[in-house]
Amino acid sequence: MKSFTIDTPRGPRQIGGGAPSFIVAEMSCNHLQKFEKAVQIIKAAAAAGADAVKLQTYTADTITIDCDKPWFVERAEGNPDSWKKKTLYELYRTAYTPWEWHPRLHEVADEYGIALFSTPFDGTAVDFLETQKAPCYKIASYEATDIPLLKRVAQTGKPVIMSVGFATLPEIEYSVRILRENGCHDLALLHCLTSYADAPDLKHVNLRTIDDLRERFDVIAGFSDNNGGIELPVAAATLGASIIEKHLVMGVNEGSFDDRFSITPAQLKEMCASIRRSEEALGTVRYGAQSAVEEGNKYFRRSLFVARDMKTGELFTNENLRDIRPSHGLPTKYYDEIIGKRAATDIERGTPLTWEMVVGASVGASVPRT
C-alpha cells in the first residue's frame, strides 16, 4: 500500500499504508482575522485529537484583482446573503490569514504537538511557505487545475495533498501527470464535496470515489468535506480514507464565511473518537477466534457423542452415534469414517467419542465434510 511520511512536532507521521487516518482541522477564515482566535483553533484541534491544522496562504492581491466588473462580483448559488454584491477582492481581503502569523502559529502548534501546514494559492505563497519549513502542501479543489501552481508546488519535492472537487477525470489525469513530471513523488488525492451545505444531499456524496482514486492513480486517497456534520467523514474513514479534512470553528454563528459547514471543537472531538473506534474495529485480516471469549465459545460447536449405551464390539450406527453440541468429542468430519466400525470398549450414553473407543479407526484419513 502507498504511504509517505511528514514531519510533525511528535516526529515522523506515516500517512497511508494502513496507518490511522490523518485528521486535518481546516482553519480557513474561521479565525475572523483575530490572532488569538487562530491560536484557540489550534489548541482546540489538538485537544480534540486531530493530527494537523491547515491554514490558507493568500492575500486578496495574490488570488484576484481589485475590480468591480460583473464577473468579479460574488453571485454563486447557495452562498450567504452577506457575500452577495461584494467583489471577490473584498471577500478575500476579509477572509485571508495574515502571513506574519505563520511563524507564531507554528510555535503554538509545536507546543501543542500538532502538525501545521497550508494551502498556497500562487507561487509567491509557495515561496513564502518554503521559508516556514512547510512539511507538505495542500492544493484546494478550485486550484486542482491551476497548472502553474501545481508545477511550483511539485518542484519543492514535498508531499502534496490535492482535493479534486468537481474536476473531471481528464482534468485530474492531467494535473496528476503535471505534478509527477515536476517532482512530486508523494501524492494524495482527496474526494471533495464543494456544495457547502448544512446537510449534504446524500445522493451526491459518492464515497466510492475514494477507492477509485486510490486504484486508478496509485495514490493515497482521502476525503475533504465542506458540509455540516460529522457523519460523512466517519463513513469515509471506515471505508479506508487515509486523510480526513474538516473545517473547524470555535462556535456557531460567529460571523465567519465558513460557519455553516464547519464543526465545533466538541464535534471534532466526537468525529476523531468515532474514526479511531472505527479503525480499531477494522483491525487486520485475521481468521479463527478473534478473542479469548470467542475461543471459549467454541464449546458450542458440534462434535461426536455416543447417544446410546454401547457394548464392546457393537457397531457404530446412525442411532448410537450423533454429531451434537458441545464440542468435547471428535470433530464431526470423522463421522462417516467411524460409522460401521466397532466399539473398542463399553461406552455410556452421553460420552464424547475418542479414537481409543473405536476399533480399526485410521485417524485423520477422512476429508472434512462440507
Q: For 259, which DSSP code? A: G
Nearest to 90 by CA among 73, 76, 78: 73
Cβ count near 215 (within 10 Å): 10
End-to-end CA separation in angstroms for the chain: 35
Cell of 349: 450414553
Cell of 146: 491551476
Q: What's the whole-number mean pLDDT along residues 240-248?
A: 97
pLDDT at 369: 39
| Separation between Cα atoms, residue 306 and residue 32, nearest integer Å | 79
Cβ count near 1 (within 10 Å): 10
The one-letter amino acid at 352: P
The pTM is what?
Answer: 0.86
213 shares a domain with 118: yes
| Residue 193 belongs to a domain | yes
| Separation between Cα atoms, residue 206 and residue 290, nearest integer Å | 32
Q: Residue 252 pLDDT more than 90?
A: no
| Residue 143 belongs to a domain | yes
Query: What is the SS3 assignment for 224?
Result: strand
pLDDT at 370: 35
156 shares a domain with 33: yes
Domain count, the chain: 2
Q: Residue 256 pLDDT more than 90?
A: no
- Contacts with 65 (C-beta within 8 Å, 6 or more apart), sequence order: 72, 89
For residues 209 and 194, the model is more confident at 209
Peptide bond before 326: cis, by omega within 30 degrees of 0?
yes
- Contacts with 294 (C-beta within 8 Å, 6 or more apart), sequence order: none
Exposed, middle or buried: residue 268 (CB in 10 Å: 0-12, 13-18, 19+)? Answer: buried
pLDDT at 367: 40
Tens digit of each residue's pLDDT (9 = 90 or more) over 132-159? 989 999 999 999 999 999 999 999 999 9
pLDDT at 77: 55
Q: Residue 75 pLDDT more than 70?
A: no
Tens digit of each residue's pLDDT (9 = 90 or more) over 6-25? 999 999 999 999 999 999 99
**Domain limits for position 240:** 3-58+96-282
Tens digit of each residue's pLDDT (9 = 90 or more) over 302-350? 999 999 999 999 999 999 999 999 999 999 999 999 999 999 999 999 9
Judge contact between 327 and 300, C-beta under 8 A. yes
Q: What's the whole-number mean pLDDT along residues 196-201?
A: 77
For residues 362 and 178, the model is more confident at 178
What value does the mean pLDDT of the chain take?
A: 93
| Residue 70 belongs to a domain | no
pLDDT at 228: 87
Q: Which residue, 282, 313, 333, sits at the end of a domain?
A: 282
Task: Tell me the C-alpha to C-alpha distance, in Å, between residue 194 and each of 65, 204, 227, 242.
Answer: 23, 11, 8, 19
Judge contact between 305 and 276, C-beta under 8 A. no
347 shares a domain with 275: no
- DSSP-assigned beta bridge partners for residue 22: 243
Q: Which residue, 249, 264, 282, sits at the end of a domain?
A: 282
Q: Which residue, 282, 313, 339, sits at the end of a domain?
A: 282
- CATH of residue 343: 3.90.1210.10
pLDDT at 365: 46
| Separation between Cα atoms, residue 108 and residue 115, nearest integer Å | 10
| Separation between Cα atoms, residue 220 and residue 222, nearest integer Å | 7
- CATH of residue 54: 3.20.20.70
| Residue 63 belongs to a domain | no
143 shares a domain with 34: yes
Would you state the torsion angle of the CA atoms of residues 347, 350, 352, 357, taken in this order, to the nearest 10 degrees? 10
Task: Tell me the C-alpha to C-alpha distance, in Å, between residue 14 and each of 18, 51, 161.
Answer: 9, 11, 14
pLDDT at 196: 77
